[in-house]
Amino acid sequence: MKTYLDCYPCFMRQALQAARFADIDEAGQKRILLSVMSALESMPDGASPPTMAREIHRLVREIGGNPDPYRTVKVSSTEHALTWYPVLRERIDAADDPLDMAIRLSIAGNIIDLGASVDYDLEESIDRVLSQPLAIDGTAELRRRLGEVSRVLYLGDNSGETVFDRLLIETMDVPVTYVVRGAPTINDATRQEAIEAGLEAVAEIIDNGSDAPGTLLETTSPAFRERFDSAELILAKGQGNFESLSHVDAPIAFLLQAKCSVIAGELGVDEKSLIVKSPGN
Amino acid sequence: MKTYLDCYPCFMRQALQAARFADIDEAGQKRILLSVMSALESMPDGASPPTMAREIHRLVREIGGNPDPYRTVKVSSTEHALTWYPVLRERIDAADDPLDMAIRLSIAGNIIDLGASVDYDLEESIDRVLSQPLAIDGTAELRRRLGEVSRVLYLGDNSGETVFDRLLIETMDVPVTYVVRGAPTINDATRQEAIEAGLEAVAEIIDNGSDAPGTLLETTSPAFRERFDSAELILAKGQGNFESLSHVDAPIAFLLQAKCSVIAGELGVDEKSLIVKSPGN
């Protein structure tokens, strides 16, 4: 997905928010905004939004001198999500259609996205995914493919959301390789946060070698690329993975909430819509 | 008031919104955003927000090739406000304290600000100003000064809001010079829109010679400056006039709604607060 002009003010807002989150002083905040503007001026046509988001969070780490400013909030997001784990595990196990419920709950977890908004209401998100119809519903096709493949490549997204991914992985009944970012970027999960969510017990964990908040293939490692290219089915969580992979020809099912007007417009749905976009959808 | 870093993403949003409002194509929208970023990079420290807003709306007029893209909406805002005139005139005349009500209603009209938001609810704004306490209440001081001066210099703001200014001017019982922008900029009132609101019958109308959406004294005409410098009491409506004059040493009463978090922070009030900030407040 290309970067729309509506993303420009949003990048500026995100950069300022991230700089303040990282306790960077006003002079540093201004340096970051000026650098973001300079990067926007030279951004190649067709670059996807995570290209710029990667730059923003690099700047925040460099200028703030903190390699992982979101570490504390990633820990607390995971801990908070883990308090939900037992009750959600029970609800899934008792459901008429556990896979459907687990898919929906994995989308609920996608609300924990500090790029889209620093305030999120996890309980509201859980209630909503269990009652709201999917705006794009590729569940049947996803279910069919899950029954056919020998392994799923699962592209994770935010810390905390990882716990909801774990619930889905436990329910899917197929071996999973769970992919995390190669280095900290905003609140996205790295190997450390995936382990803290308990994913090591249910999936092979690999990293993609990149610090983009999405999956910008050109920035990932050859080892990840090999797994990606040979995957029978890829589950991609969240906006960043959608923005960076929507144009890629691969067997990808996208699971996300459409949290901004640009993504909603790209998908032809309303904001806050729930999406299961399977290959062929 | 200086430009805060929070204003940077907001300028980008305003520029994109204005470009689209003026039916400028995507290539033109991008040119405008790039020019705004370039202007932000070279903006002198301490410049007030209307400095940049003036640039934005100049770019929109130039690149769109339309000297007054908001003309149609200015006409309809005035017509809409005029439908309210008779009932509000009656309410003021029947009020225990007509001046207090007219001051409040003039602040209600300040919601018609297409820079702050393209959607506004005039009826909600009227209801709110008649029930909500003023967050800064310089009404008593303003009333005292109105009883002492021989003429008021009244700095107008948006088209449509002009009708609410007329209600106040009719109620004040002191001669008024009503100041409009010297040239079109966003939906701010020029002489034409002031006349359409019926202000010619109740005030002397002069223009300030400037196309800034505010009162940037350095961009105004010598004739206006002379009036400004010799004014016994200046009534300044809206955010743009506050942003550009808050640091100026003059007998100014600011009447506005705090429509964004930056203004609210500067004034030490909550967003959506109603302000009558008299000299000495």
Interface of B with A (CB under 8 A): 5-6, 8-10, 12-13, 16, 26, 29-30, 33-34, 37-38, 40-41
Same domain, A55 and A102: no
At residue A115 the predicted structure's pLDDT band, cuts being 50, 70 and 90, is low
Mean residue pLDDT of chain A comes to 95
Q: Considering only alpha carbons, which residue of chain B is nearest residue A38?
A: B37
Q: In a mutagenesis test of the A interface, which of B2, B7, B12 is the best target, namely the one with the most A β-carbons within 10 Å?
A: B12
What's the gap in Å between the CA of B12 and the closest CA on chain A?
5
Q: In terms of domains, do A55 and A135 share one? A: no
DSSP A134-202: PSEE-HHHHHHHHTT-S-EEEE--BTTHHHHHHHHHHHH-S-EEEEE-SS--TTB--HHHHHHTTGGGT
- pLDDT for A25 equals 97
Angstrom distances, CA of residue A107 to CA of A193, A277, B17, B274: 18, 12, 32, 41
How close does chain A come to B29, measured CA to CA in Å? 8
pLDDT above 90 as % of chain A: 90
Do A45 and A79 fall within a single domain? no
Q: Which of B64, B86, B112 is the last residue of a domain?
A: B64
| pLDDT band at A5; cut points 50, 70, 90 | very high
Residue B81: enclosing H or E segment and its boundaries?
Answer: helix B71-94
Q: Do A26 and B40 touch (CB under 8 A)?
A: no
**Per-residue pLDDT reduced to its tens digit, B88-145:** 999 999 999 999 999 999 999 888 877 666 677 888 888 888 899 999 999 999 999 9
**For residues A124 and A111, what is the distance between their CA atoms, to the nearest angstrom?**
10
Contact A5 B30 (CB under 8 A): yes
Q: What pLDDT band is residue A2 in, cutting at 50, 70 and 90? A: very high
Work out the average pLDDT over A88-115. 92
Q: B6 and A29: CB-CB below 8 Å?
A: no
Same domain, yes or no, for A265 and A196? yes
Q: Based on the domain organization, do B139 and B110 belong to the same domain?
A: yes
Residue of B nearest to A11 (CA): B9
A1, part of any domain: no
pLDDT for B159 equals 96
| pLDDT surpasses 90 at A214 | yes
B5 with A41: Cβ contact below 8 A: no
pLDDT the model gives residue A97: 97
pLDDT digits (tens, 9 = 90+) for A243-252: 999 999 999 9
Residues B164 and B267 in one domain: yes
Does some domain include residue A214? yes
Q: How confident is the model at residue A113 (pLDDT cuts 50, 70, 90)?
A: confident
Give B19 to chain A, closest Cα distance, Å.
Answer: 11
Alpha carbon distance B232, B216 (integer Å): 19
Residue A66 pLDDT class (50, 70, 90 cuts): very high
User: What pLDDT sits at residue B122?
Assistant: 84
User: Which chain A residues have any C-beta within 8 angstroms of a chain B C-beta?
Assistant: 5-6, 8-10, 12-13, 16, 26, 29-30, 33-34, 37-38, 40-41
Residues 6+ apart with CB under 8 A from B147: none
User: What domain range includes position B31?
Assistant: 7-64
Give the domain-ending residue among B19, B46, B64: B64
Chain A residue nearest residue B34, CA to CA: A41
A232 and A122 together in one domain: yes
Residues on chain B touching A16 (C-beta within 8 angstroms):
5-6, 8-9
Is residue B2 situated within a structural domain? Answer: no
In this structure, is residue B151 part of a structural domain? Answer: yes
Whether A128 is in a domain gets the answer: yes
User: Would residue A2 count as lying in a domain?
Assistant: no
pTM: 0.91
> Do both A138 and A58 map to the same domain?
no
Cross-chain residue pair B16–A26, CB shorter than 8 Å: no
Q: Do A34 and B26 touch (CB under 8 A)?
A: no
My answer on whether A59 and A91 are in the same domain is: no
Task: Identify whether residues B57 and B78 lie together within a single domain.
Answer: no
SS (H, E, C) A230-246: HCCCEEEEHHHHHHHHC
In a domain, A256, yes or no: yes
Separation in Å, CA of A4 to nearest CA in chain B: 10
Share of chain A above pLDDT 70, in %: 98
Q: What is the structure's pLDDT at B124? A: 85
Q: Are residues B113 and B182 in the same domain?
A: yes
Q: What is the pLDDT along chain B (281 residues), one digit of tens a residue?
A: 999 999 999 999 999 999 999 999 999 999 999 999 999 999 998 899 999 999 999 999 999 999 999 999 999 999 999 999 999 999 999 999 999 999 999 999 888 877 666 677 888 888 888 899 999 999 999 999 999 999 999 999 999 999 999 999 999 999 999 999 999 999 999 999 999 999 999 999 999 999 999 999 999 999 999 999 999 999 999 999 999 999 999 999 999 999 999 999 999 999 999 999 999 87
Q: Do A111 and A226 lie in a common domain?
A: yes
**CATH number (domain holding residue A109):** 3.40.50.10880
Closest to A5 (Cβ–Cβ): which among B9, B16, B41? B16
Cβ <8 Å between A40 and B37: yes
Q: How many domains does chain B have?
A: 2
A19 to chain B: closest CA residue: B5
Q: Report if residue A138 sits inside a domain.
A: yes
**In Å, how far is B223's CA from the nearest CA of chain A?**
38
**Which of A64, A87, A104 finishes a domain?**
A64
